[in-house]
Structure 1
Amino acid sequence: MDQHKHVDQRKPASEQLLALLDGRRLSPAQRRIAQYLIDNLAEAAFLNSVDLAERAGVSQPAVSRFAAALGFSGYPALRDALRPIVLGAVAETPQQVRRNELQAAIAAEEANLATLHELTADPERFAALGRELAASACLPVLGLRMSDPVAYYFCYGAARIHPDVRFVDSAGSAAFDLLLQARQAGGTWLLAFMLPRYAVETITVLDEAHRQGFKVALVTDSRLAPWADRADVVFPAPVGSRLVFDSHAAPMVLAGLLVQAIADAEPARTQLRLEEHEALHENHAYYLH
């Protein structure tokens, strides 16, 4: 039996299609298919898989995998579900379709931030980790592939209030060397970001970090992720999956909260370091006024 979601056929076609896509973990190629369906649903619902693949600019197997990702037994079953949506829905203009799509993406991010809002109901969790990270004489931060920008955002802020933050943005022997050097410099914690699509190499770095004696704080999109057991502390931050690539509103906010927690753990050090940075900025006119 197909395990796809029930959709409300009273809603516009684009909203019904977005409901089918909601919460699905799709690859970029699969999202290209989804985008083509959103933009051309009236036509696409009557195409075979080969034609749909050609129109969307992907392979035919990608179409089959897309249908499976939505919970259908195959593409014919997905097409059978799309046709009633097209035939029974109120006609929409292209502008209405795109509006529904963009608003759905924003609504999904609002829901992600609401989840993060619930997480902050226990501020001591952040404060406790902030004290641990602040006390780590050297703080390595891991972020590979799509997790890299969020990890870098954390590093950019943390490096201004923590004396030794080191960004681990590559895997393999280079990462192992960085961990060893961080350990030799007095590091006790590794902060890791592991967000979809999950880089396999991240697991090897986490395992090596434990082997070298680090404790691991992990930011990922679900506390129930199978790699969560590799971390001593897990902070979940859901990601938006409505666009071609994931959007990271909640993980970025969480990264900022962790920087804040480090700052709060060492207020005197934080103030001194920030004042030194401000003096440097003023002397060299880094920013426009």
Structure 2
Amino acid sequence: MPSPQQARAQASAISSGRAAVPEAEFSPTSRLRTLFDRPRLSPGQRRIAQYLIEHLTEAAFLSITDLAERVGVSQPSVTRFASAVGFSGYPALRERLQSIALGGRGGTPAEESGNELQAAVDAEIENLENLRRDFADPGPVVEVGRKLAASTPLTVLGLRISVSLAEYFAYAARRVHPDVRLVTRGGSVAYDALLQSREAGGTWVLAFSLPRHAQETLGAVRVARGAGLKVALITDLALGPIADEADVAFATGTGSRLVFDSYAAPGVMCAALLQAMTDADPERTQARLEEYEQIAEQHQFFLRD
């Protein structure tokens, strides 16, 4: 019977359209990347993962004390990392690392599949390819874009790491929508903004929840739903407490190969919803864009090409 890690690798291969390949035929680095490819790993845990990938031959035989010292983290952090990637503790993880180091084919971080930065790009390409397949049926995006365009005001919610995408969406949406309200602070501040949006006639909130998912985002989404607002969610997981609370969830993969996530696919999803909003009311869109261009020209907002 395959181990849980082997099963995950096989499932990943099947879901991505690749033929299943026996684990022994993967290089050590590829096997470690499959083992550690968890979007919910913290930045500190990803540092541990990167060190193990880059120094497998040596790291597989280090004590927990030595490994923690080499990476620059605490021993409890190593223990939590082992648990996060599916092991009962560091001894079980080290046994697995030793098996890979001694039984796998040769390879270095700069193997056939490239270095860590190239691997991160490859992972994002796969996320974009998955999103492209999702867009084979553009109906859900078009429908949600129409509803967001009709909501006045339209509230955009993004807390903690999700702030950057929320700001991007709100900035662009203001060019084609008359009243966009951006919420980037949690707690009672978010609650006030959501309740005021509903009182002002708003019907929809676009929320962002990306790893690591903030507890306060869940609270804000629940307040929005309780106030009578509909919630569209851009996230990385189709299942989970925040997705369960949303009326519509668009799940797009985030790049988790590096210490901090990258957001190629969620960024494209933002642009797709913005496109759907512009198409929902083309006359309003054209009028607002022309007015903005006149103002931008008058006040010289941008450098001339």
User: Structure 2 residue aligned with 1:199, among 201, 214, 227?
Assistant: 214
Q: Is the 8 A contact 1:109 1:240 kept in 2?
A: yes
- CA change 1:164–1:102 in 2 (3 A) is same
User: RMSD of the TM alignment (CA)?
Assistant: 2.1
Task: Give aligned pairs, total.
Answer: 289
**Equivalent residues of 1:4, 1:72 under 8 A apart:** no
1:219 lines up with 2:219 in the alignment: no
- Name which of structure 1's ranges 166-175 and 24-33 shifts more when overlaid on structure 2: 24-33
Select which of 109, 116, 128 maps to 1:113. Answer: 128
SS in structure 2 of the partner of residue 115 of structure 1: helix
Match of 2:150 among 116, 124, 135: 135
TM-score by length of structure 2 reads 0.88
Q: Corresponding residue for 2:15?
A: none
The offset of 1:66, in angstroms, is 1.2
Distance in 2 between the 1:212 and 1:243 partners? 38
TM-score computed with the length of structure 1 as normaliser:
0.93
The corresponding residue for 1:260 is: 275
Q: Is 1:165 aligned to 2:166, yes or no?
A: no
Partner of 1:37: 52
Q: Which residue of 2 aligns with 1:60?
A: 75
| Residue 237 (1) aligns with residue 252 (2) | yes
Q: Give the distance between the partners of 1:23 and 1:121, measured in 2 at CA.
A: 27
The Cα shift of 1:255 comes to: 0.7
Q: Is the 8 A contact 2:163 2:184 kept in 1?
A: yes
**How far has the Cα of 1:37 moved from its partner?**
1.2
Q: Which moved more, 1:55-64 or 1:92-101?
A: 92-101
Q: What is the CA–CA distance in structure 2 between the aligned matches of 1:133 and 1:27, rounded to whole Å?
A: 33
CA distance in 1, matches of 2:247, 2:107: 50
**Distance in 2 of aligned mates of 1:131 and 1:194:** 21
| Mapped pair 1:275 → 2:290 | yes
Match of 1:187 among 190, 202, 208: 202
Shift of 1:198: 0.3
CA 95–124 in structure 1, closer or farther in 2 if over 3 Å, else same: closer
Q: Which amino acid aligns with 2:46?
A: R
Q: Report the more deviating stretch, 1-10 or 249-258.
A: 1-10
* Amino acid corresponding to residue 265 of structure 2 in structure 1: A
Contact between 2:109 and 2:116, CA under 8 Å: does it hold in 1?
Answer: no
Moved more, 261-270 or 89-98: 89-98
1:246 aligns with 2:261: yes
Identify the match of residue 299 of structure 2 among 281, 284, 287. 284
- Mapped contact 1:18–1:104 kept (Cα < 8 A): no
Cα distance in 1 for residues equivalent to 2:175 and 2:39: 38
Matches within 5 A, 1:24-103: 25-89=40-104, 91-92=106-107, 95-96=110-111, 99-103=114-118
Stretches of structure 2 that go unaligned for 5 or more consecutive residues are 10-21
Structure 2 CA distance, aligned partners of 1:88 and 1:132? 55
CA shift for structure 1 position 104: 2.2
Query: 1:85 & 1:76 partners in 2: Cα distance?
Result: 14
Aligned AA (2:160): R
Instruction: Report if the CA contact (8 A) 1:31-1:244 is conserved.
Output: yes
Counterpart residue type for residue 4 of structure 2? Q
